[in-house]
Amino acid sequence: MDVLKRRIGLEQEFFLVDEAGDLSHRGDEFLQGCHLMAEAEGLNPQYFVPEFVKSIIEINTPPAYSGTELATEYLKNLNLALAVARQMGLRLYPLSSYPLHIMPVMRDHPNYHIQARTVGYDRFLHAGKCTGTHLHLEVPPGVIDPLVAVSYNSTAKEREELLNIYNLATAFDSALISLGRACPFYEGEAIGLAAHTIRYRGSEIFGWEGVYTGLQPVGGLMPYAETVESLVEQQFARYYAWLQALDQAGIDRHLFLEAGGSLLKSAWNPIRLNKLGTVEIRCIDSNYPSVIIAIIALLEKAAHRVRSEQLKVRSAKEVHTFELDENYLWVPDFDYLNGELLYAAATEGVKNPKVKAYVDSILQFAIADGGEGAKYLTKLRVQLDKYQTIEADILQEFTPATAKLTRDEGLRLVRECCDKLEAQVSWLDTEHPLAALDEELAVL
């Protein structure tokens, strides 16, 4: 496969709600409807899948060779899911957290119970109260080995590409958090933080109570890989950290393995290697299609430029933005990226001057690749001082950040978000969704 023809894929999680906006646990019935409609329309039913709680479903795409192709497949599958929901009197709520208090119903699968017992059931339920979007950047076929992380049979060139894409994805972490912040409410409160980020990955340093607060090797952002050897060592260190956590929870290791656990399946990090042959980016909030498609364009262009120009992506001390120097793309040092920058991204976001400079440098780098979507990203960069996340828009309309959300307000918010999702799918469902985004006058 030509190095410039790598593919990109997407998974997005959605809450299932009824017409009033209340959470629905009819996920299995809904997915059965999606499978039947997909088969009737000649589409692949495997792209409509369950999540670990019955009120969240996941819509995937086939691998695509361009951002335009990926966005088209994404909208096609989302359109089908919305049609099934209408038939059942259900709706899809697209944002990263359900705004009111909920009690998720977990599926009775061994692997979910093992995870819950290991991290603690109450802590694990945070994962059922948040939804995310995952993007997959393909790397050379066969270079990722599920047993040893990186294949012994891969070439030096293939391994170098893997390192560069892994490091690029890692360096994007705080930018994706900042640009994609979706729902400001968690359990009925506006907490003033990126809820999906803090409640999923967590942090002992910042006092964020999340699923992986005490297990950062398993669920936190891992350092850049300066060499293939360090990348492999990182994978095994994380695996053994998880096995030790199982031991501490009194769970026999063989139960994890019998439930499908493995070296790569012990990773719930924001950036991880996937046995599908991709670097998987998991730090993005679930959000409206306009935001997801813009992020697709941003990541695709940056990855394409790294590959086509054969850039080496490396970090350096005192580097706080993306800096291009001949065939090196220098990115923020990990201590800064996962420390000061992460905290600023999860609190102030792009309103913070350091976050703004970092995001601006990423946009500048990606825009240079050109093509569909570049016009929109250029507008975004020009208007970055005035950029409003979906989270900020919602806070302006609903309530001050110090107030609690009433049940009626929460249900109204859910219904309005469902309305906006359906309107955007209708507006963007064209052969060239990135071009449609380019023609929008305002940054969404």
Question: How far apart are alpha carbons 316 and 216 in whole angstroms?
Answer: 23
C-alpha distances out from residue 348 to 140, 387, 389, 435, Å: 37, 12, 11, 31
**226 DSSP β-pair partners:** none
At residue 95, the 3 state secondary structure works out as: coil
Question: Is the pTM above the cut of 0.85?
Answer: yes
DSSP label of 371: S
Q: CB neighbours (10 Å) of residue 414?
A: 24
**365 DSSP β-pair partners:** none
pLDDT per residue, tens digit, the chain (444 aa), is: 455 689 999 999 999 999 999 999 999 999 999 999 999 999 999 999 999 999 999 999 999 999 999 999 999 999 999 999 999 999 999 999 999 999 999 999 999 999 999 999 999 999 999 999 999 999 999 999 999 999 999 999 999 999 999 999 999 999 999 999 999 999 999 989 999 999 999 999 999 999 999 999 999 999 999 999 999 999 999 999 999 999 999 999 999 999 999 999 999 999 999 999 999 999 999 999 999 999 999 999 999 999 999 999 999 999 999 999 999 999 999 999 999 999 999 999 999 999 999 999 999 999 999 998 999 999 999 999 999 999 999 998 887 655 789 999 999 999 999 999 999 999 887 788 988 888 875 555
Q: CB neighbours (10 Å) of residue 383?
A: 12
- Which residues lie below 8 Å from residue 55, measured CB to CB, with a gap of 6+? 15, 16, 23, 24, 25, 27, 102, 104, 105, 128
Instruction: Report the pLDDT value the prediction gives residue 1, as an integer from 0 to 100.
Output: 45
Instruction: Report the pLDDT value the prediction gives residue 122, as an integer from 0 to 100.
Output: 93
Which tens digit of pLDDT belongs to each residue from 236-247?
Answer: 999 999 999 999
**Residues across the chain:** 444
Which tens digit of pLDDT belongs to each residue from 311-345?
Answer: 999 999 999 999 999 999 999 999 999 999 999 99
Q: Strand 56-60 vs strand 8-18: parallel, antiparallel, or unpaired?
A: antiparallel
Q: In 344-377, which positions are buried (b, 16+ CB within 10 angstroms) versus exposed (e)?
A: bbbeebbebebbbebbbbbbebbbebebbbbbbb
Question: Phi then psi for 58, rounded to 5 degrees?
Answer: -125, 135
All domains of the chain, ordered by start, with CATH? 3-429 (3.30.590.20)
Strand segments, DSSP code E, in 130-277 are: 132-138, 144-145, 149-150, 185-186, 189-190, 271-274
- Which residues lie below 8 Å from residue 17, measured CB to CB, with a gap of 6+? 23, 24, 90, 91, 92, 93, 414, 418
Instruction: Report the pLDDT value the prediction gives residue 441, as an integer from 0 to 100.
Output: 52
Instruction: Report the pLDDT value the prediction gives residue 404, as an integer from 0 to 100.
Output: 86
Cα 75 to its chain centre, rounded Å, is 17
